[in-house]
Amino acid sequence: MECDKKYITIQQLEQHNKAGDLWVSINGKVYNVSDWSKYHPGGETPLLNLAGKDVTDAFTAYHPTTAWQYLNKFFTGYRLKDYEVSEVSKDYRNIIHEFTKAGMFENKGHTAVFTLTSVAAMFGFVFYGVLCCNSLWVHLCSAMVLGMAWIQSAYIGHDSGHYIVMSGHGWNKFVQLITGNCLTGISIAWWKWTHNAHHIACNSLDYDPDLQHIPVFAVSSRLFNSVTSSFYGRKLEFDYMARILISYQHWTFYPIMCVARVNLYIQTLLLLFSKRQVQDRTLNIMGIIVFWTWFPLLVSWLPNWSHRVMFVLTSFVVTSIQHVQFCLNHFSANVYVGPPNGNDWFEKQTNGTLDISCSPWMDWFFGH
């Protein structure tokens, strides 16, 4: 009966907004996920970013329908007394419902098979070109194909990281480790740590790590005020060095994109060998060891150092296409300061994302 239900206000919910005391609301029902947060497949950071808030839209966007059945064990018995849904959120939830009914979110097995097969074929070409040919031009073509293989592997790693490539959780994790750690040398654990935080707080200057590139780049003049990063837990100092580098970012952007992979390798190692809690740390380290075994061996097979340097640089330059694409999707969109709120989460997602219209034949090239 309605009179038997217990209620709390939004202000009371907002008091439970930290690690160890983490409550959220979904469809007006309040859940205590304090203990669960450390086991959350998407990491603890997304939950902390929305702690003490309504997370209905975010939960709907990033969880399969099967996840709803597990919510009851976290139910506090409370409901939000003043729970309201914005008109935009109502429309968003209706769209999600219609798309789900139409089967648009079902796993498309043929796409995964096609992409995995194409990646395997590209790696086969690369190894053949390096191991069986002595021509510089063949080696450069192999480097370009390797860059393309890394790009496609990253897209598969992205989609399997969202658990939408394979039918089971375990198989998705297997694909994550193969396409991420083993083939590209970029830890899927590092990707989840930053990428899930990015999704939850898309284009928030202080909550989205994908916008926090001080002292090299600044996407907003608000960063000139030395914003404190909620993600990294430190101030992004706009100091003398940042002032110099950012004043020339319109010249340095593309050259830096050409070697941006080096930063990803460094970030991977910094996380895996840090004191932070890392899910599947051992598996991630083993995958990185696989990459740093086969890639140097492959490069060492080239006949001389000029071939080796050109091979590595060419493969890195090709992958810069993907780095530029990711920057275009968000650097040119609207930004804000602070965490997203439950009723404006969808609006901030769309305001912070720029879709780029391409010809259908380019879908595969840009990860569908």
Q: For residues 163 and 356, which has the higher predicted lDDT (pLDDT)?
A: 356
Answer whether 112's CB lies under 8 Å from 42's CB: no
Q: Is residue 137 part of a domain?
A: yes
Give 207-241 pLDDT, tens digit per residue: 999 999 999 999 999 999 999 998 888 999 999 99
| pLDDT beyond 70 at 342 | no
Same structural domain, 17 and 130: no
CA–CA separation, 60 and 65 (whole Å): 8
Q: 159 lies in which domain range?
A: 109-366
Q: Give me the number of domains the chain comprises.
A: 2
Q: For residues 109 and 325, which has the higher predicted lDDT (pLDDT)?
A: 325
Task: Pick the closest to residue 20 from 34, 6, 9 (CA basis).
Answer: 34
Q: Single out the residue in 35, 69, 102 at which a domain terminates.
A: 102
Task: State the CB neighbour count (10 A cutoff) for residue 104.
Answer: 10
Same structural domain, 244 and 345: yes
Q: Is residue 320 part of a domain?
A: yes
Give 66-79 pLDDT, tens digit per residue: 888 889 999 998 99
| pLDDT beyond 60 at 159 | yes
| pLDDT beyond 80 at 344 | no
Task: Pick the closest to residue 163 from 40, 268, 288, 245 (CA basis).
Answer: 40
Give the list of residues 6+ apart from residue 95 with CB closer than 8 angstroms, or none. Answer: none
Q: Is residue 1 part of a domain?
A: no
Same structural domain, 221 and 350: yes
pLDDT on residue 2: 53
| pLDDT beyond 70 at 3 | no
Answer whether 346's CB lies under 8 Å from 214's CB: no
pLDDT on residue 257: 95
Same structural domain, 224 and 329: yes
Q: For residues 201 and 111, which has the higher predicted lDDT (pLDDT)?
A: 201
Same structural domain, 357 and 333: yes
Give 280-319 pLDDT, tens digit per residue: 899 999 999 999 999 999 999 999 999 999 999 999 999 9
Helix (DSSP H) and strand (DSSP E) numbers for the chain: 15, 7
Same structural domain, 263 and 278: yes
Q: Is residue 282 part of a domain?
A: yes
Give 105-133 pLDDT, tens digit per residue: 776 666 677 888 899 999 999 999 999 99
pLDDT on residue 361: 82
Percent of the chain with pLDDT over 70: 96
Answer whether 200's CB lies under 8 Å from 48's CB: no
pLDDT on residue 328: 87
- What would the two tokens of residue 9 be? 């206000």
Find the mean pLDDT for residues 339-360: 79
| pLDDT beyond 80 at 269 | yes
pLDDT on residue 108: 62
Q: Single out the residue in 87, 102, 117 at which a domain terminates.
A: 102
Domain at 29, CATH number? 3.10.120.10
Confidence of residue 321 (pLDDT cuts 50, 70, 90): very high
Q: What mean pLDDT, rounded, does the chain reach? A: 88
pLDDT on residue 146: 97
Give 5-42 pLDDT, tens digit per residue: 788 888 899 899 888 899 999 988 999 999 888 888 77
Q: Single out the residue in 44, 77, 102 at which a domain terminates.
A: 102
Same structural domain, 35 and 80: yes
- What would the two tokens of residue 18 be? 């930290």
Task: Pick the closest to residue 198 from 347, 49, 88 (CA basis).
Answer: 49
**What is this structure's pTM?**
0.88
pLDDT on residue 186: 94
pLDDT on residue 107: 65
